[in-house]
Amino acid sequence: MSILKVAIPSPLSRTFDYLPPVGQPENALLPGSRLSVPFGRGRKVGILLDVESYSDLPLARLRRADAILDPEPALPPDLMLLARWASRYYHHPIGEVVSAFLPTALRRLHDTMTGVRPTTQARHYQITETEHVVSSELLKRAPLQRKLFNALKASKAGCSGEQLAELGSSWRTAVRALIDRGLVVERVASTVVPREINAQRHGRDSQPVLHDEQHTAAEAMKGALGSFSVTLLEGVTGSGKTEVYLRMVQACLEQAQQVLVLVPEIGLTPQLIERFRKRFTCRIELLHSGTTDRERLRVWQEAKAGQTHIVIGTRSAVFTPFKSLGSIIVDEEHDLSFKQQDGFRYHARDLAVIRGRERQCPVLLGSATPSLESLANVATGRYRHLSLSQRAGGAKPPQIGLLDVRRRAMHEGLSEGLLELIAEHLQQKGQILLFLNRRGFAPVLMCHDCGWSADCPRCDAHMTLHLKSHRLRCHHCGSERAVPASCPECALENMVLVGQGTERIEAAIADRFPSARIIRIDRDNTRRKGQLESLLAQATAGDADILIGTQMLAKGHHFPRVTLVGILDVDRGLFSADFRATEHIAQLVVQVSGRAGREGREGRVVIQTHQPDNPLLQVLVQQGYPAFARDALEERKEAALAPFNHLALLRAEAADSKQPRHYLQTVRAMIQQMAIEDVWALGPAVAPMERMAGRYRWQLLIQSPQRKHLHQLLDKLRPALETLPASRKVRWSLDVDPVTLL
Ligand code: ADP
Ligand code: ZN
Ligand code: ZN
């Protein structure tokens, strides 16, 4: 009797049992296939995980699946493995995980999947290296498992699914059990992609001669092809990391293998894409938040069929199926946008590493400012380290300095010293970039008479005044309202604006330098498609004297004419409640600074601060990011924080102000009762912003120096939370490896 174990999107960590569809041959029931199944009073799309011979439910209660939806599994074996891994690691329901892996169009029933061509991926099984000593005692009561295990043990290269099938008809179940026991690994045997990749690799641009470090790095990465490894490419801004990527990609294409490139935000990397397009004429596809469902499905299917050679995409592109994946690149690997911040909270960089391991291909992580996690992995020898310490093409590193603004005259957040420098660089026809990580005109509107301020009715936050649209907006929940003409509290018309946003800096600069051409770039004026590209094009073409922007301007762009960078509000970040705040400021400062002085022009970076003695800023400015990172890692070690301590954050929120805290206290007591060695729960603590979008928020930090112990606890905790009646009174979520505690 075949019982289908089906993953269906639901908040419960379980699978659902079904009987096979009528008239479906046994061998068509392949894991990874989409099924239409009755669910409640409706129908849903589920993914077949396994075919078993038992069910916990009485057979009479099992319903029958309607049909298999695709001629072959929608999720190939390596993605099924990744999904299982991710579900276990992030303690997130498998149904929601596999659903996240599918393009939206395939999650719905009414879409028909057209034009999918069969892939020829075969599965391959190998014994895990560490488990050779396992006693057959363990497998005593599972004869087929023992048989498979011994067969695999006897063959160094492992066995194909076909070979194992000869040992017993329910080999799939048995091998799955061995995998679950950690005794066997499943891989996708690499297959050859059609020859068209080879035929079209010559692009239009000319390749620069690599400098020594680039050459070493490129050779190392070419040599890494064909097996799994993780390499951190740490290269100062402008050192030519992209060129190293391009060389590895070329070598990969020459071996008829596909490439996945993950980038933080597609809108922020038009230049990277442009360079790929110039270098390679093969099929390059993009996947990002603006990609339509239809388009996403097409790219997904073509990559799966091996017809697309390079996929460049944001976070969720890590789930793209490939016929023959040869390498994975994660550009700006430190970027926070790789972490999904709601629902299934995965980290795309970390999943990329797991995927590389399953596909046996190299993973290259690139950054000028690597995450402390990756640096720690280098220190323990898990990741290989390559560095590019010099700028390419003879460009000099920028000269970075702190500008002490204490007691100095400030004009709308701009110090006199900085304004003088701007005037100087304008005169020398240099381009100037001013960085401020806050959009809008002013973050606070206040009554000068009674102190009333325009606060968001739903959050513990002020509303930001946006001058162009003349609205007050909450940047946390999106609430909006009209700007009051007079104070709602005392009715006087004496309102003042406190603080600066990019709009205000733009106005102040326009006032001071009336003939300068100014371009502002932030989320507010780049919403429409193509706006960012056109502003960036103007900026690089030199149609602007002064660029003003938020972090959108800080990442990855190459502005050849920039000679002066002013960082305006670093102080704000120094007071953040988050333990990762300093790491993020350091990364941002280095990234922004990297925009200065490319292509031979001397660059200068000025950081305005009221804290010129701040040790973090001092080390960063005088010794650079690697020294900063060393100190920061040391601090994290002493404070027992990530990456030395493994963290999970349980968040709870509710409209009632007392519920979340009570709930987390209950959970905390449960955790203590579970008594898992080396695991602590800290809190409950109120979230740094207690009320957001009308809900009160609390959190419980669960930590352990041993990842294994943390996961032992979470393995028990997650199902317990699902059945805890109090869980229904709050909105809760579990975040493994949180990137922020805010
Ligand atoms: P990164 O990604 O490390 O910031 P890029 O790859 O964007 O650096 O390279 C910075 C600039 O240097 C680009 O304009 C690039 O074309 C140029 N460049 C890279 N490698 C070389 C080289 N070997 N010789 C000359 N110019 C180079
Ligand atoms: Zn007032
Ligand atoms: Zn709000």
pLDDT tens, position by position, 494-542: 999 999 999 999 999 999 999 999 999 998 888 887 888 888 888 888 7
How confident is the model over 638-646, as a mean pLDDT?
89
Q: Taking the CA of residue 11 as centre, how many other CA atoms within 13 Å lie in the half-sphere pointing to its CB?
A: 10
Percent residues over pLDDT 90 in the chain: 63
Ligand 1 pocket residue status of 525, Cβ below 6 Å: no
Q: Which CATH architecture has domain 646-736?
A: 2-Layer Sandwich (3.30)
Asked if the 122-189 domain carries CATH number 1.10.10, the reply is: yes
224-228, 554-558, 652-656: range with lowest mean pLDDT: 554-558
Ligand 1 pocket residue status of 390, Cβ below 6 Å: no
Q: What per-residue confidence (pLDDT) applies to 592?
A: 87
How confident is the model over 100-109, as a mean pLDDT?
91
Q: What per-residue confidence (pLDDT) applies to 130?
A: 52
Ligand 1 pocket residue status of 235, Cβ below 6 Å: yes
What are the distances in angstroms from CA 339 to CA 80, 314, 351, 477, 694?
20, 11, 10, 20, 25
Return the ligand 1 atom nearest residue 211 CA: 23
Return the ligand 1 atom nearest residue 245 CA: 6
Q: What per-residue confidence (pLDDT) applies to 232?
A: 98
Which residues of the chain are in CATH 3.40.50.300 domains? 212-238+258-393, 395-442+499-634
Write the class of the CATH domain 212-238+258-393. alpha beta
| 686 CA distance to ligand 3 middle (Å) | 17
- Whether residue 431 is predicted with pLDDT greater than 70 in this model: the reply is yes
Ligand 1 pocket residue status of 726, Cβ below 6 Å: no
| 456 CA distance to ligand 3 middle (Å) | 5
- Whether residue 195 is predicted with pLDDT greater than 60 in this model: the reply is no
The more confident residue out of 122 and 407 is: 407
Which residues of the chain are in CATH 1.10.10 domains? 122-189
How confident is the model over 291-316, as a mean pLDDT?
93
Of all residues in the chain, what percent are helix, strand and coil, respectively (each to 5)?
35, 25, 40
Task: Render pLDDT for 686-699 as a digit per residue (tens, 0 to 9).
Answer: 998 999 999 999 99
| 623 CA distance to ligand 3 middle (Å) | 40
- Whether residue 355 is predicted with pLDDT greater than 50 in this model: the reply is yes
Alpha-carbon gap, residue 45 to 640, rounded angstroms? 44
- Whether residue 29 is predicted with pLDDT greater than 80 in this model: the reply is yes
Ligand 1 pocket residue status of 239, Cβ below 6 Å: yes
pLDDT bucket at 119, cuts 50 / 70 / 90: very low
Which residues of the chain are in CATH 3.30.70.600 domains? 646-736
How confident is the model over 371-384, as a mean pLDDT?
96
Q: What per-residue confidence (pLDDT) applies to 243?
A: 95
Helix 531-541 to helix 270-279 angle (10° resolution) is: 80
Q: Is 80 exposed, middle or buried (0-12, 13-18, 19+ CB in 10 A)?
A: buried
pLDDT bucket at 196, cuts 50 / 70 / 90: very low
Q: What per-residue confidence (pLDDT) applies to 531?
A: 86
Q: Which ligand sits nearest to residue 445's alpha carbon? A: 2
Query: 64 phi and psi, to 5 degrees?
Result: -100, 135
200-214, 389-403, 596-610: range with lowest mean pLDDT: 200-214
| 605 CA distance to ligand 1 middle (Å) | 20
pLDDT bucket at 250, cuts 50 / 70 / 90: very high
Q: What per-residue confidence (pLDDT) applies to 211?
A: 93
Query: 103 phi and psi, to 5 degrees?
Result: -65, 150
pLDDT bucket at 203, cuts 50 / 70 / 90: low
pLDDT bucket at 268, cuts 50 / 70 / 90: low
Neighbours of 610 (CB within 10 A): 13
Q: What per-residue confidence (pLDDT) applies to 198?
A: 41
* Interior angle at CA 144, CA 142 and CA 147, nearest 5: 110
Ligand 1 pocket residue status of 211, Cβ below 6 Å: yes
- Whether residue 121 is predicted with pLDDT greater than 50 in this model: the reply is no
* Interior angle at CA 251, CA 247 and CA 257, nearest 5: 130
Mean pLDDT of the chain, nearest integer:
88
Alpha-carbon gap, residue 46 to 5, rounded angstroms? 10
How confident is the model over 591-618, as a mean pLDDT?
84
The alpha carbon torsion through 401, 402, 404, 409 (nearest 10 deg) reads 70
- Which of 207, 239, 242, 592 best tests ligand 1's pocket when mutated (most atoms within 8 Å of CB)? 242
* Interior angle at CA 497, CA 495 and CA 498, nearest 5: 130
Q: What per-residue confidence (pLDDT) applies to 187?
A: 67
Alpha-carbon gap, residue 529 to 525, rounded angstroms? 11
- Whether residue 115 is predicted with pLDDT greater than 70 in this model: the reply is no
| 632 CA distance to ligand 3 middle (Å) | 33
- Dig out the tokens for 642 from the structure: 């990530």
What does pTM read for this prediction?
0.85
pLDDT bucket at 405, cuts 50 / 70 / 90: very high
Cβ contacts of 506 within 8 Å, gap of 6 or more: 518, 520, 548
Q: What per-residue confidence (pLDDT) applies to 599?
A: 64
Kind of pairing, strands 229-235 and 384-388? parallel
Task: Render pLDDT for 44-92 as a digit per residue (tens, 0 to 9).
Answer: 999 999 999 999 998 889 999 998 988 889 999 999 999 999 999 999 9
- Whether residue 616 is predicted with pLDDT greater than 90 in this model: the reply is no
- Dig out the tokens for 169 from the structure: 């008809």
The CATH homologous superfamily of the domain defined by 3-107 = PriA, 3(prime) DNA-binding domain (3.40.1440.60)
Please name the residue whose Cα sits nearest to atom 10 of ligand 1: 238
The CATH homologous superfamily of the domain defined by 395-442+499-634 = P-loop containing nucleotide triphosphate hydrolases (3.40.50.300)
Which residues of the chain are in CATH 3.40.1440.60 domains? 3-107
| 578 CA distance to ligand 3 middle (Å) | 20
